[in-house]
Amino acid sequence: MGQEEQAKHSYIRLLATVRSKGQIALATASCGVAASILPGGRTAHSRFKIPIHEDNDSGCNVNKQSSSARLIKQAKLIIWDKATMAKKYAIECFEKLLRDIMDSDTVFGGKVIVFGGDFRQTLPVVVKGYKEDYISASLVKSYVWNHLEKLRLVANMRAYLDKPFSDFLLSLGNGTLPCFDDSRITLPHYLTIPFVDDL
């Protein structure tokens, strides 16, 4: 089982635990595929009516007296998977929405929020962006970052029995592999299949 599968199973257990007590737990993700895997999952943009296009003056389009606002207010747990893919403005819109709904000055309105994701996988999409643009748009550059408790999975359980492959994946993700031409790496020979031109 890989780190991603471990996280999914953890989310499902958390959701089931909260819901088994008759309480509300909302499951969201930054992309539709990840949301569809979670029980009752929806994209964060759909659930919280986050504007698609970044605008410093815009906020989530949830009326404080609406049924959506009441559901969010009653939720004991909110999970946002693949939060590393979301632009910081989307998470900040969500954070402000919670403070507004909960009539609170506390970050996230005092709600229990679980963000999941891996910065070594997919970062926010920035059209014609450079490395610094992706970093600047990501959650780590948001004012909420320092308010989050960080828990890290460090073992690749899927590749546990293949240590060289596991070490290679971690080195690749951590950016510690030797590079040439500023951004290229050499794959180990055991990961490549020789090209044979049989024409």
**Beta-carbon contacts of residue 105 (< 8 Å; ≥ 6 apart):** 99
pTM: 0.80
Per domain, the residue ranges of the chain are 3-158, 159-199
Q: In what order do the strands lie in the sheet with 75-81?
A: 42-43, 24-29, 75-81, 113-115
pLDDT digits (tens, 9 = 90+) for 145-177: 999 999 876 666 666 678 888 788 778 877 888
Secondary structure, 3-state, 73-128:
HHEEEEEEECHHHCCHHHHHHHHHHHHHHCCCCCHHHHCCEEECCCCCCCCCCCCC
Q: What is the chain's Cα-based Rg?
A: 20
Distance, first Cα to last Cα, the chain: 41
Query: What local confidence, expressed as pLDDT, does residue 148 receive?
Result: 95
Query: What local confidence, expressed as pLDDT, does residue 54 receive?
Result: 77
Q: Of all residues in the chain, what percent are helix, strand and coil, respectively (each to 5)?
A: 45, 10, 45
Question: What amino acid is encoded at 114 in this protein?
Answer: V
Within 10 angstroms of residue 135's Cβ, the number of other Cβ atoms is 15
Q: Is the pLDDT score of 198 beyond 90? A: no
Query: What local confidence, expressed as pLDDT, does residue 101 receive?
Result: 97
Q: Would you give the distance in Å from CA 140 to the centre of its chain?
A: 12
pLDDT digits (tens, 9 = 90+) for 97-139: 999 999 999 999 999 999 998 887 778 888 888 888 988 999 9
